[in-house]
Amino acid sequence: MSSLDIYAITKELQGLVGYRVDNIYRDITDTFYLFKFKGKGHLKNPFLLIEPGIRIHLTEMQHSVSKPPSDKILAMRQHLKGTDLLSIQQIDFDRLVVLTLKGKQEYRIYIEIFGNRPNFIVVGDQNRVILATWYRKMRHRDVLPGKEFEFPPSRGKSILDISYEEIQQIIEENNSEDEQIVRMLAKKTGGGGPLMEEILARSDIIKTTKTQEISDKEVNQIFNSIKEIKKDLENPKPTLIVDSDDTPLSFQPIEFKSITGISKKYNNFSSAVDSYYSNITPKRSVDLKQHDREKKKLLKVLDSQKKAIIDFETKKKKYKDLGDKIFLHLNEIEELLTTIVAARRNNISWSEIQIKLVQAKNEGRPSARIFDKIIPDRGLIHLTLETESIEVDFRKSATEIANEYYERAKKATRKILPAKEAILETEKRISVLEKDISEQQFAESFTLKRRKRKWYEKYHWTKTVNGFLIIGGKDIRSNEEIAKRRMKKDDLFFHAELRGAPYTILIRDSSSENVTDSDIASAGLLAAAFSSGWKAGYGAVDVYHVPAESASFTAPSGEYIPKGGIMVRGTRNYLRGVKMALAIGVKIGESNALVIYGSEEDVESESPISIIIKPGAVSKGKIAKQIQKILIEKTENLEDKAKIRGIDFNDLVRAIPHDSVITEVRYSDLGEKRD
């Protein structure tokens, strides 16, 4: 980001002032910080992304964060979590931003958006450094723990605040036939090359014009262009310049006349910057690195398994061939072995036996022709059968020796089939891993936005096929909120016929809106599923409904309604035996996915996969993991998979009433319709 970008973004980020730091994170690539804020302004749970040396802006994208957090992040949280943002400022139109926060003490965070080793410095009372990305001694200043913070050298007066006379003086002092006007302005004033090019483009001055050639009229044009840019910055029109393939090329807080290309407009500068970096920044997660390591490990295993099969095949052939050769020369071998054993019984020395066998071999005796040498202390004799040299135990018979080789061949054969099966299993694991890698690579190349929550998501909720919104309380407080703030006279009120059930309302804009039996059933299911009946393991419960005006939460004079109680006047309309079976699925959006739940009909109308759950013995967390796994595995479209992976796991947990069991997985043709 340039000085001009920072000027615009700090102005835009004034909406954060007064918000509280809810948490601080570091992304898994250890590149940037994420500050999560909370406040009562128009920004809903905003995330401020700070990447020293590169950028600072609000982000709507989903970013994976380091788990567990590093010691530095923990220390930062200890100081800054819960502090209030007092101000956010640019220092001297430079690429230096300071956030001032108030907590136990007043803190300032200095963020350098410049340099090869840009810093992120937390300063406390007495202007002393508490934390920094880098600690170092420099020519003009030091950044060390406990040392007083000093600003880096100023780059000069802002081009936006410069007067006509000052422009004229700068040009006169740098009057040269070698110096280009654009380079001279960039060096002598703060703002950077692109801003100087824009000023000159608006002034109708060729940027390569020599400073010596600039006239007084052109000085005036430059001054007027600067005023024009300042006026544009009062009402910014952020743009993103893209090529014909929609690849981002640059971003600006205002429209630049000096830049050509396809221009995309944004409502705010943060969105333009966020979109730019989300599309150009390569991503590589810890999980993907682990997948790579696992794949390399499996490839090594596969290589050793293939070598083992070659070894078994070689041994099988070798030992069978030797067994065959021994049987071919069975008589000669048997005669030779018998001669050796007989000689030893007659107390003939080994050296004499060796000499006699060599003599017999030289004389051409058949049984001696295969003899090479004898090794008495090991009970072995070396034989040459045709071209093969073998070592055998002379204390055994020729048949025993041949059978030993055949048995070795069989043993090698028996190992081949399990080894081939092991190879198939390893190849299968590699295939699954490669699929995972491919899916994750796609997921990380696909930009996911954080989904903005609707007001009704603080309650249990569902939407019917006909578009009616149904909400239910999660506890006594939200029950009261629904009854006193949300329920209107045209709504329908639902309640399960047992203690411990949510106030549930089907919201209508007017009494003339036609509510079908299907809509009634959907509301009845929500009221039943999130009642105490699910936890108790009931298969079904009764639910009643009445017009909202028939439900009262204040007792008549002289009577008492306990906290969380209700008084119903008039006739109750009953839904008998509402079955405890809830469908859960996902609604795929343009850049994210939404967990939906309710009746099978309602969920199947929005989700290509519906998972049916009933009361059971498996905890909510485990059921949620099972559901997410099914949704990911059964979804074919890689883009949809990426969106499902990006779902907040807590949204799945919130969709499950209590301990449950998955009873069925259903598929609709919604995916085909959507495609």
Report the alpha-carbon distance of residue 131 to residue 133 in Å, rounded: 7
Take residue 476 and report the two structure tokens written for it.
Answer: 């006594």
The CA–CA distances, whole Å, from 631 to 437, 439, 607, 624, 645 equal 18, 14, 10, 11, 9
Please tell me the least confidently modeled range out of 26-30, 152-156, 472-476.
152-156
What tens digit of pLDDT does each residue of 176-212 get? 878 889 988 888 887 788 899 999 999 999 999 998 8
Contacts of 287 (CB under 8 A, 6+ apart): 440
Q: What is the pLDDT of residue 673?
A: 39
Report which residue type is found at 186: A
As a dihedral over the C-alpha atoms of residue 63, residue 66, residue 69, residue 74, rounded to 10 degrees, the angle is -40
Take residue 284 and report the two structure tokens written for it.
Answer: 């590589």
For 304-337, letters b (16+ CB in 10 Å) and e give ebeeebeebeebbeebbebbebbbebeebbebbb
Q: What is the pLDDT of residue 670?
A: 62
Q: What is the pLDDT of residue 675?
A: 34
282, pLDDT greater than 80:
no
The average pLDDT across 80-95 equals: 93
375's enclosing H/E stretch is: strand 371-375
User: Residue 638: phi, psi to the nearest 5?
Assistant: -65, -35
Q: How confident is the model at residue 492 (pLDDT cuts 50, 70, 90)?
A: very high
Q: What is the pLDDT of residue 447?
A: 65
Q: What is the pLDDT of residue 434?
A: 78
Q: How confident is the model at residue 261 (pLDDT cuts 50, 70, 90)?
A: confident
Between 551 and 469, residue with greater pLDDT: 469
394 with 378: CB under 8 angstroms? Answer: no
Q: How far apart are the first and last CA of the chain?
A: 39
Q: What is the pLDDT of residue 113?
A: 92
The CA–CA distances, whole Å, from 453 to 153, 164, 590, 592, 643 equal 45, 50, 15, 12, 16
Contacts of 532 (CB under 8 A, 6+ apart): 498, 499, 500, 501
State the burial class of residue 475 (Cβ atoms within 10 Å of its Cβ: 0-12, 13-18, 19+): exposed
88 with 21: CB under 8 angstroms? Answer: no
424, pLDDT greater than 80:
yes
Give the β-pairing of 239-242 and 593-598.
Answer: unpaired
Q: What is the pLDDT of residue 483?
A: 87
554 with 532: CB under 8 angstroms? Answer: no
What tens digit of pLDDT does each residue of 287-328 get? 566 777 888 899 999 999 999 999 999 999 999 999 998 888
Q: What is the pLDDT of residue 442?
A: 60
The average pLDDT across 110-135 equals: 90
Q: How confident is the model at residue 13 (pLDDT cuts 50, 70, 90)?
A: very high
Q: What is the pLDDT of residue 674?
A: 39
Where does 39-187 show beta strands of DSSP type E? 47-51, 55-58, 84-90, 96-102, 106-112, 120-123, 129-132, 136-137, 142-143
567's enclosing H/E stretch is: strand 567-568
The average pLDDT across 263-282 equals: 86
The alpha helices in 329-362, defined as continuous H runs, are 330-345, 350-362
pLDDT averaged over every residue in the chain: 88
562, pLDDT greater than 70:
no
Report the alpha-carbon distance of residue 493 to residue 505 in Å, rounded: 5
Spatial CA neighbour of 578 closest among 541, 527, 625? 541
Between 256 and 568, residue with greater pLDDT: 256
Q: What is the pLDDT of residue 170?
A: 87
Predicted TM-score (pTM) of this structure = 0.65
Where does 210-300 show beta strands of DSSP type E? 239-242, 248-252, 262-265
Q: What is the pLDDT of residue 39?
A: 93
State the burial class of residue 104 (Cβ atoms within 10 Å of its Cβ: 0-12, 13-18, 19+): exposed
Q: What is the pLDDT of residue 416?
A: 93
Spatial CA neighbour of 185 closest among 149, 225, 150? 225
User: Residue 65: phi, psi to the nearest 5?
Assistant: -115, 160
C-alpha of 293 from chain center: 18
Take residue 634 and report the two structure tokens written for it.
Answer: 């059964």
Q: What percentage of the chain has pLDDT greater than the value 70? A: 94
Q: How confident is the model at residue 444 (pLDDT cuts 50, 70, 90)?
A: low
Contacts of 333 (CB under 8 A, 6+ apart): 326, 367, 370, 383, 392, 398, 401
Spatial CA neighbour of 257 closest among 318, 176, 203? 203
Q: What is the pLDDT of residue 172?
A: 87
Between 633 and 435, residue with greater pLDDT: 633
State the burial class of residue 611 (Cβ atoms within 10 Å of its Cβ: 0-12, 13-18, 19+): buried
Q: What is the pLDDT of residue 440?
A: 66
Spatial CA neighbour of 549 closest among 590, 518, 511? 511
Between 58 and 429, residue with greater pLDDT: 58
Q: What is the pLDDT of residue 108?
A: 95
157, pLDDT greater than 90:
no
The CA–CA distances, whole Å, from 420 to 184, 298, 304, 388, 415 equal 72, 15, 12, 30, 9
Contacts of 98 (CB under 8 A, 6+ apart): 87, 88, 89, 91, 108, 109, 110, 111
